[in-house]
Amino acid sequence: MAASTLITVAPTGAETAKSDFPQLPTTLEELVETAVACQEAGAGLIHVHIRDAEHEPTLDATRLRDTVQALREQTDLVVQLSTGGSVHDPLESRLQVLDAEPDSCSLTCGTTNFGDNVFLNPYPFMSQLYRQAQEHEVVPEFELFDLGHVHALRRLIDEHGLPHGGKVHVDFVTNVPGGMPGTIEALVAGIQALPDEVTSWSATGIGRAHLPIAAAALAAGGHLRVGMEDNLMLARGQQVQHNSELVSRVAELATLMQRPPMSTEDARALLGVKE
């Protein structure tokens, strides 16, 4: 079991509207302020979705590049850009995210029902993204929304070899309506099905599964992802006001569990991200 815990913060996502949740960080200034506070609270990695001037999700190349640069200048966090985008983004735009040269990118290992929408990830797209990440020397984080996604991960590794950096880190995204449930049983089934090449895993629970999945992942030796992308409530009737509240809460839990938050240097070593 890892002696310390990688805490990923996913502060924004693509699903929540700024008008519904004004404390969601959607501008570059808000994102950088959030990143600095979350690093201070114990985060090692930031999973980034960006918004345009109207606070709508965008994959605009210039904005992505500016975001990576600002986060690198202002923090030591591992910078991971989402290649999932929103359910409306075309596959071609999602591939172009790598041109912004982040440290890491998400790579979802299969198509998933996503509420009333479909989050599309056909195998040829995953395969192309995997190869392009190798070429760009970007470390993918494999997002597993369902048990079947481990088959695609196995096939990617068999066909293309290990990702850049030589490590294989996966993140279980549980409790998406249409994906695996946010239960201990589902998480354990996922852990047991992982290919031998996997070197580390984290987990997140969407909505009310957020805290139970964090506790289960810690107990099972995994790492954590938290943030407003996944959960907007601290407790019943109590909205999250700042992403750092979610990071601080699990940092405290991880410390109680004798696995305190990992430094950003250790996060880079864990994931195989270059210094």
What is the binding site for ligand KMH (CB under 6 A)?
13-14, 82-84, 86-87, 106, 108, 114, 119, 143
For residue 104, the partner it binds in ligand KMH, Zn ion, none, with Cβ less than 5 to 8 A by kind, is none
CB neighbourhood size of 275 (10 A)? 6
User: Smallest gap, in angstroms, from Cβ of residue 48 to ligand KMH?
Assistant: 9
Q: What angle do CA 36, 66, 32 make, to 5 degrees?
A: 15
For residues 13 and 205, which CB has a smaller minimum distance to ligand KMH in the complex? 13
Shortest spacing between CB 20 and ligand KMH, in angstroms: 16
Instruction: Tell me the residue number closest to ligand KMH, measured at CB.
Output: 84
Instruction: Burial-class residue 62 by CB neighbours within 10 Å (0-12, 13-18, 19+).
Output: exposed
CB closer to ligand KMH, 39 vs 204: 204
- Least separation in angstroms between residue 229's CB and Zn ion is 5
Report the alpha-carbon distance of residue 250 to residue 103 in Å, rounded: 24
The answer to whether the CB of 8 falls within 8 A of the CB of 171 is: yes
Nearer to ligand KMH (CB atom), residue 107 or residue 198:
107
Tokens representing 243?
């992403």
Instruction: Tell me how far, at minimum, the Cβ of 119 lies from ligand KMH, in Å.
Output: 4
Could you give the angle at which helices 210-219 and 243-256 cross, rounded to 10 degrees?
A: 30
Q: Which does 83 bind (CB under 5 to 8 A by kind): ligand KMH, Zn ion, none?
A: ligand KMH
CA distance 51 to 2: 35
Q: Which CB sits closer to Zn ion, 11 or 222?
A: 11
Cβ 48 to Zn ion shortest distance, Å? 8
Tokens 């407790």 correspond to what residue? 235
Strand, helix or coil at 137?
coil
